[in-house]
Structure 1
Amino acid sequence: MTNRSPCGTDSPNAPSTGAMISALVSAVALTVLTLFGEAVGHWTGWLPSFDIAFGAASLLVSPLLLRRPVSATVVLVALALLSPAATPSAAMGVLCVAQQSRFRVAATVAAAGFIAHAWQGIWRGYPGIDYIWWLLFIAVAFSALLSWGQFARDRRALIHSLRERARRAEAEQGRRVAEARMRERHLVAREMHDGLAHRLSLLSTYAGALEYRPDSPPEQLATAAGVIRAGAHEALNELREVITVLREDANDHDLLPQPVLDDIPRLVDESRDAGAAVDLHDAATGGETVPDLVGRTAYRVVQEGLTNARKHAAGQPVQISLERRSDDRLVIDIRNPLPPDRSAAPAAPGGGFGLIGMAERVRLAGGNLDHGTSPAGEFRVRAWLPLPT
């Protein structure tokens, strides 16, 4: 429900036709009552026509309160200086100014209204009421109009401020939801790249071996087929995990166990079984337990390094070093010689964002990753992750 001021505004710049009509009706009614009171009182001679004319003039000026409240109120106060018939409209004008203007302007207009009615009491005189009491009455009346109007103005400003804050909070919440969804999409894409890309590159290696060596002994063919079957099964499991993450009703029991630091030797053995020459210098696994985030990030770094080596340097030996430093850091170093023909297409397609995403993953874990070609002609990936003290 909206509360409207007598001036017809929810804000200083939003006049209302309905409130305008209400204000005019109120002014007309009060003016008529004032004229009636004068008629049954001490009207004599030319005063009736004089007050009727000033009352009509005040009613004609009253609609201007909605557009130019200060100017219209000044005119109404001037009319009230001479005739009590303009008092209702002048009082309405003081209230409108108080509701729409700063305190200094509103107080000035209210003071002008008080002075005008003080002069009105001097030259018109009102039987039955002492002039001092008349001054006290109009002082209280205009003070009340000023206070009421300023209160309504402050309340309207507060409501507007709260609405604006609510609108901004809603927009901010929408932005946060969109950012959260984007982060989840990036997380899912990263997990798909890190897990499935490694698994499928292994399958591609085994399938390539079967394609180019169809004359291999049946035992080797059976072993390779078994590895392909097991790799496909693992790839399907990882794909199921990604889909589970995307489901809104998924819970922690639906997720597969995440890899940890001690799973790195098994990862290296899978690459060796695929025919890759991988040398692992392991001085980190099997010791003190590391946080899951650090272990999982280290596993993904090694996984991405092996995947890149199979894609871009197929057949080249890979050296991996895992080391716990005395400065509470886990250092991962992966290097492999560059292929003789660097212009050749990769053994498997890729998006070129694996190491970029991996660097971001390491950064989120509190570490750092850099990669590039070393002076010895090797492609090197080096990362460090913080360990708890």
Structure 2
Amino acid sequence: MNPPPPTVTRWGQVWRLLLVLAITALSWVELAPWQLANAPGWFAADIAIGVVSTVAAFRWRHRFPVATALVTNVVSIVSFSSGGAASLALVSLATRRRWREIVPVTIVVALTIPVVVAINPVPGPDPRLDAAVVVVVIGLMVAVGLYVGSRRELLATLRSRAEIAEAEQAAKVAQARGAERTRIAREMHDVLAHRISLVTMHAGALAYRDDLPPEQVREAARTIQETAHQAMTELRGVLGVLRDGPGDAAPELPQPSAGDLRILVEEWARAGMRVDLSVDGDLDDVPDAEGRTIFRVVQEGLTNAHKHATDTAVTVRVDAEGGAGVRAVVTNPLRVGTTRTTAPPPGAGLGLVGLRERVELAGGRLTQKVTPDQRYVLEAWVPWPA
């Protein structure tokens, strides 16, 4: 399919008109004086037909290319001033690069050559030479039209490819922005959910227990203050990572690792949760990327246990033996009854979704299930070659 003709600027119209007038002058320069002296009627008709042909060529050569080329070239038999318009229409037709149009029109134009030579009252010294020159000119005009059409098609193809590339780039940018927003949400959840849960637990205890001595009230308030401060510190760290860091693979420090699991469990224990941690292997030997993933799994498991089964005991088992990968299992009995002393912390319900994505990106797997003895089990495995 041929590309649509380009929009012609005012300067483009001007130089085309000048070229048409120049071709008209060359084709009519010998006959015009003879017509003016011997056949003034023919002279006037020649000018009138030439003007109409020029206007038609400029206005309708794109809308009706075949008809315009045929009419202007046929009338050029008796109107030599139509030569420029006929040339423009023929070149414009050839730019379409449709041989089923070019060949018939070119044959008709070639058949007009003997007629023009025969009725020309001022022929050259060799009419056959004049006919040969006209044939060569017609061939050149067709060749020029084919070249222009080919160049337009090439430019249209390059423009289309550039537009497609820009659209694909825009789609990639939009996808990257969406992925970044998802990563931000995941990091914010991982970092803040734990701290906010601790604050909620202590604040709920203060709201429910009105018989606490002043020392315990001050201790709970101090814990809330410290936990909120740590949450703000970690929030600034996460925002710094997301703003400047290259991604999850190598985030900026400080970031949690497997060695921080004991600190995490101690924080929950101080908050009143019953947590039993057992570790096989050395947590400090776990690489940062794998250790960070395991830390997030345990953190999410403890946070969910606090949300949905506050009064139960939680067991955390971590297997950090190299060669078989790193495995973390967080289990707790399902809550019995529905009565709570405080409202559960709000949640988006996307913690495990983001956690599963994180684990799978690390090449591991995450499973959650309820065992027949009514225990909830969250298990993650991340590969770690020895």
Question: What range describes the TM-score normalised by the shorter chain of this pair?
Answer: 0.7 to 0.9
Cα shift at 1:211: 4.8
**Secondary structure at 1:100 match in 2:** coil
Q: Which residue of 159, 178, 194 maps to 2:190? A: 194
Q: Deviations over 1:345-374 (max 9, x none)?
A: 753222222112212222222222232322
Q: Which residue of structure 1 aligns with residue 319 of structure 2?
A: 323
CA contact (8 A) 2:5 2:62 kept: no
Provide the C-alpha distance between the structure 2 equivalents of 1:130 and 1:81, rounded to a whole number of angstroms.
19
CA contact (8 A) 2:274 2:314 kept: yes
> Partner letter of residue 153 of structure 1?
G
Q: Say yes or no: does 1:357 pair with 2:350.
A: no
Query: CA separation of 1:148/1:35 partners in 2, compared to 1, >3 Å: closer, same or farther?
Result: closer
Q: Which residue of structure 1 aligns with residue 5 of structure 2?
A: 12
Question: Between Structure 1 and Structure 2, how many residues are aligned?
Answer: 378
Q: Which residue of structure 2 aligns with residue 4 of structure 1?
A: none
CA contact (8 A) 1:94 1:146 kept: yes
Provide the C-alpha distance between the structure 2 equivalents of 1:231 and 1:283, rounded to a whole number of angstroms.
29
Mapping of residues 341-352 of structure 1, within 5 Å: 341-342=337-338, 347-352=344-349
Identity %: 35
Q: Which residue of structure 1 aligns with residue 31 of structure 2?
A: 38
Q: Deviations over 1:146-170 (max 9, x none)?
A: 1221222222233333333333333
Q: Which residue of 286, 290, 303 maps to 1:294? A: 290
Q: Which residue of structure 1 aligns with residue 257 of structure 2?
A: 260
Cα shift at 1:43: 8.1
Provide the C-alpha distance between the structure 2 equivalents of 1:118 and 1:283, rounded to a whole number of angstroms.
103
Q: Which residue of structure 2 aligns with residue 150 of structure 1?
A: 146
Provide the C-alpha distance between the structure 1 equivalents of 2:18 and 2:62, rounded to a whole number of angstroms.
14
Cα shift at 1:340: 0.8
Q: Which residue of structure 1 aligns with residue 234 of structure 2?
A: 238
Q: Which residue of 71, 74, 87 maps to 1:78? A: 74
Ranges in structure 2 where 5+ consecutive residues have no aligned partner = none
Query: CA separation of 1:337/1:289 partners in 2, compared to 1, >3 Å: closer, same or farther?
Result: closer
CA contact (8 A) 2:28 2:81 kept: yes
Query: CA separation of 1:265/1:84 partners in 2, compared to 1, >3 Å: closer, same or farther?
Result: same
RMSD: 3.6
Mapping of residues 1-389 of structure 1, within 5 Å: 11-12=4-5, 14=7, 19=12, 23-24=16-17, 26-28=19-21, 30-31=23-24, 34-40=27-33, 46=39, 49-50=41-42, 52-62=44-54, 63=56, 64-124=60-120, 127-212=123-208, 224-245=220-241, 255-286=252-283, 288-290=285-287, 292-324=288-320, 328-342=324-338, 347-388=344-385
Cα shift at 1:133: 2.8
Query: CA separation of 1:39/1:356 partners in 2, compared to 1, >3 Å: closer, same or farther?
Result: closer
Give the TM-score normalised by structure 2.
Answer: 0.82
Query: CA separation of 1:249/1:242 partners in 2, compared to 1, >3 Å: closer, same or farther?
Result: closer
**Secondary structure at 1:332 match in 2:** strand
Ranges in structure 1 where 5+ consecutive residues have no aligned partner = 1-9
**Secondary structure at 1:318 match in 2:** strand
CA contact (8 A) 2:269 2:275 kept: yes
**Secondary structure at 2:379 match in 1:** strand
Query: CA separation of 1:40/1:103 partners in 2, compared to 1, >3 Å: closer, same or farther?
Result: same
Q: Deviations over 1:264-302 (max 9, x none)?
A: 222112212222121223225436432x33221111111
CA contact (8 A) 2:327 2:379 kept: yes
Provide the C-alpha distance between the structure 1 equivalents of 2:247 and 2:332, rounded to a whole number of angstroms.
40
Cα shift at 1:199: 0.9
CA contact (8 A) 1:335 1:379 kept: yes
Provide the C-alpha distance between the structure 1 equivalents of 2:134 and 2:338, rounded to a whole number of angstroms.
97
Q: Deviations over 1:91-121 (max 9, x none)?
A: 1211111123424423443343233224422
Provide the C-alpha distance between the structure 2 equivalents of 1:199 and 1:247, rounded to a whole number of angstroms.
22
Q: Deviations over 1:41-75 (max 9, x none)?
A: 698855x6446524532431332324312101101
Provide the C-alpha distance between the structure 2 equivalents of 1:136 and 1:149, rounded to a whole number of angstroms.
20
Give the TM-score normalised by structure 1.
Answer: 0.82
